[in-house]
Structure 1
Amino acid sequence: MKHKSVFAATALIALALGLAGCAGGDPTGHMDGSRVELYDSVRGIAADASLIAVGEVTEQEVVQEDIPYTLSTFAIEREFSPAVLGRDVPAGAPKIEGSEVVVRQMGAAGTELPYPILEPGQRYLLFLSPSMLEGEKATQLYITGGSAGIYSIEGNAFVHGPFTEGDTLPGKLTANDLQN
């Protein structure tokens, strides 16, 4: 009988410690994923993109579906159309300077992700691809290659990363690099 009491007490302590461990800690979530392709050249990522543009994130909202998605309104200031530009943007998705597109990212601020969530008020060079979703989501665009398609802007240069997804893209680009 004594062994049963010791076992029960040990089990209760272990359960209490386990529950305490679940209750505390970091409130952020964590999302992992894998990509089909890693990019090693601007030509490669441009060939998979349907829109390459500089713009500013003007609005943002998080929608909860099966997982959270961040929807960023991206005001296009300048569009680049290199000869290798890939897929067509779906009908109804504007892609001209002065227009806005909605960029869809898996996750939200505060979630541990292998790529940054776009920030309102920040300007970026983005490589974008159709979401391939249905209904009103069909006009939303994904960033091509996750972090591969995100460049921040520093002066006249577009700066990539550092990111750890495995792409070997140039760390800096200029507008001239995107014309060919």
Structure 2
Amino acid sequence: MYDSVKAITDDSDLVVVGTVADQKVVQDIDDETDFTLSTVKVITTKKGDAGDETVVVRQTGSTENQTAGAMMETGSTYLLFLVHSGLAGDLASQYYVTGADAGIYLAPATAKAKAQTGTVTEQDISGETFNRVNSDSGDNLPATLTVDEVPAS
């Protein structure tokens, strides 16, 4: 449970704003558990190094096999607090959302529209207010957040 933006930022390896460009569902750890892998095109990085400008975010579940968490959607732009997956091999480069789904903030429709045309820029999202996707997680995090409100690290 997080009681501040600073606490979730401190626990995150990577904090980015990005648009989900692609998703696929895999069962790569066992034969029963769905994982949704979202390829996120990074617009700006607030903490860490996004490397090649895309990151793969793992979420447990899928639209067919929904878990308790909120699933990201293709074409939407998010402010994401992420931790390394801790998995082996090719999966080591992937990330989980910090605090299950506490670290997912959704951009408003204007950013989504720009993202779908491929024209969203760092300047476009600098003043945007992102809305917390799961306000019922028990964490004491703000309902809305701007990129500028994320502490520099």
3-state SS of the aligned residue for 1:44?
helix
Q: Paired residue for 2:50?
A: 95
Contact kept in structure 1, 2:12 and 2:81, CA below 8 Å: yes
Question: Pick from 131, 136, 140: which aligns with 1:159?
Answer: 131
Alignment of 1:75-154 (within 5 A): 75-81=41-47, 95-96=50-51, 99-154=53-108
The separation in 1 between residues aligned to 2:98 and 2:134, in whole angstroms, is 17
Contact kept in structure 2, 1:71 and 1:103, CA below 8 Å: yes
Q: Paired residue for 1:177?
A: 149
Offset, 1:111: 2.8
3-state SS of the aligned residue for 1:76?
strand
Amino acid in the other structure paired with 1:73: T
Contact kept in structure 1, 2:6 and 2:151, CA below 8 Å: no
The separation in 1 between residues aligned to 2:24 and 2:133, in whole angstroms, is 24
Deviations 1:57-115 (A, max 9, x none): 0011100242111111000001113xxxxxxx7xxxx615x710110111111333222
Offset, 1:175: 2.0
The structure carrying a bigger helix percent of its residues is 1
Q: Paired residue for 2:2?
A: 39
Offset, 1:179: 4.0
Structure 2 unaligned segments of length 5 or more: list them.
Answer: 111-127
State the TM-score, normalized to the length of structure 2: 0.79
Q: Give 1 or 2 for the bigger CA radius of gyration.
A: 1
Q: Paired residue for 1:64?
A: 27
Offset, 1:52: 0.6
Number of corresponding residues: 131
The separation in 2 between residues aligned to 1:68 and 1:164, in whole angstroms, is 23
Structure 1 unaligned segments of length 5 or more: list them.
Answer: 1-37, 82-88
State the TM-score, normalized to the length of structure 1: 0.68
What is the root-mean-square deviation in Å for CA atoms of aligned residues?
1.7
